[in-house]
Structure 1
């Protein structure tokens, strides 16, 4: 797969991050295979996760093909970039097409980035996972690489103004590969993946250099001011209702 757009975009992103003087805590990057297909499963706490999540694979010299909302591919600005970087458009009304494209990429030896939660978590804890991640990994006979992002929610997330202040820390934790086979129960495999990532998230949060009590970007379970998972679920339902009302 020819990549004329991806390398310059990475170069631009590195320059922007250098200007912001972001400090990266990257651990476990050696778990991303240097060759062959793989599914990278990431938590979702920010609109910039698909940018910074890809940095976890750069030490292995891999480019991540993200599964992202189809609307981004229709935007006059982001569309050419998303297509040029060979990301995968996801139309929820026709999800089979994106699933098949992801399988084609995996069978061709590409790394596909997936957000099993499907949407941003307002609580910054893990939401329920969709089973598509483990199903595609099993069908393509490739490993699932769990990856946790932390700190990206401070930059740009739901319900809060953007804040690209300098000198912040972005933590990226890459876990060991998880093998899933066609004989495995997708629900059980998904539960195992989520449990693994929940443990990784806990360790990443506790190792993060800042733990200010009451901070809006810190989960309620850690003394922060973020909504509890139950409150976040209510906010998600209200958001969906507003969208439905606008669509009528």
Structure 2
């Protein structure tokens, strides 16, 4: 009888998290990716004993690579300083640029909600554990929800992709209510972070291309925080506040597109159909999403019988 070896899951490690972020920053530097940021004033203020990153003094609208300060301590986690960071999801690298922004802002280590499938992977699983992310189970997300709320109350930043999947239309689709419910229950703000242009680097049906990534621009807009006092009680309907969050995320995308350095050609695949691009329309996107089947709690797809 074959016996499965126990899974090795290391404890969360500050050094490991720093290594992940530095790897991402090195790749950004290697490909000379230009990250342009607006709305920095809407980021959470640095907590006590936190030194703001050197990039805060950079030329407005830019995201610089500091030459000093790499040994500054990570952001201290203190009760009363948590936040839900809601990020758009048009491609597979949106989260990475949002994380880099928060890292250089105040050395924040964001905790993402990760599917059980990724946590069970022989290679990704130890990395998920070492980075301290929150794992969403296959059939129920209740445990992950409670864990995320507890971390928010403790002062962590919990990052959520509220669209719960890549939007192929490259417009913000209907969002799940989890971000609003978590923020309301924990009494923390929601920080809307809209990322435009990262989907050109890698998204569904468009693999990573070094040529396309070289000197590629990426726009990030940080929207005004949605404060906890404006959120409904956890027992009340979270859908109106969730619609407000979706509108804030789409506004950030509109801001990013308005001054995006690249001029798309007619029918460019990475532009929304409503602006003359080649992306699916909203109706086509809904049909394609329905054909994929409903999502499980853990993020995978159920097959249709």
Question: Could you say which TM-score interval applies, normalised by the shorter chain?
Answer: over 0.9
The answer to whether 1:137 aligns with 2:137 is: no
Alignment of 1:210-229 (within 5 A): 210-212=262-264, 213-229=266-282
The answer to whether 1:57 aligns with 2:109 is: no
Contiguous gaps of at least 5 residues in structure 1: none
Residue 255 of structure 2 is matched in structure 1 by 203
The answer to whether 1:123 aligns with 2:169 is: yes
Deviation at 1:182, TM superposition (A): 4.2
Contiguous gaps of at least 5 residues in structure 2: 1-11, 48-80, 295-300
Residue 145 of structure 2 is matched in structure 1 by 99
The answer to whether 1:76 aligns with 2:118 is: no
Deviation at 1:70, TM superposition (A): 2.0
Instruction: State the distance in 2 between where 1:232 and 1:182 align.
Output: 30
Instruction: State the distance in 1 between where 2:220 and 2:157 align.
Output: 17
**8 Å contact from structure 1 (residues 29, 56) kept in 2:** no
Residue 189 of structure 1 is matched in structure 2 by 241
**8 Å contact from structure 2 (residues 232, 241) kept in 1:** no
Equivalences, count: 246
Deviation at 1:21, TM superposition (A): 0.7
Find 2:197's aligned residue among 143, 147, 151.
151
**8 Å contact from structure 1 (residues 134, 186) kept in 2:** yes
Residue 238 of structure 1 is matched in structure 2 by 291
For normalisation by structure 2, the TM-score amounts to: 0.76
**8 Å contact from structure 1 (residues 139, 182) kept in 2:** no
Instruction: State the distance in 1 between where 2:108 and 2:33 align.
Output: 22
SS at match of 1:127: coil
Deviation at 1:92, TM superposition (A): 5.0
Deviation at 1:209, TM superposition (A): 1.0
SS at match of 1:5: helix
Flag the 1:127–1:103 CA change in 2: closer, same or farther, 3 A. Answer: same
Q: Which has the higher helix share?
A: 1
Deviation at 1:244, TM superposition (A): 4.6
What RMSD, in angstroms, separates the aligned Cα atoms of the two structures? Answer: 1.9
SS at match of 1:4: helix
SS at match of 1:93: coil
- Highest CA radius of gyration, 1 or 2? 2
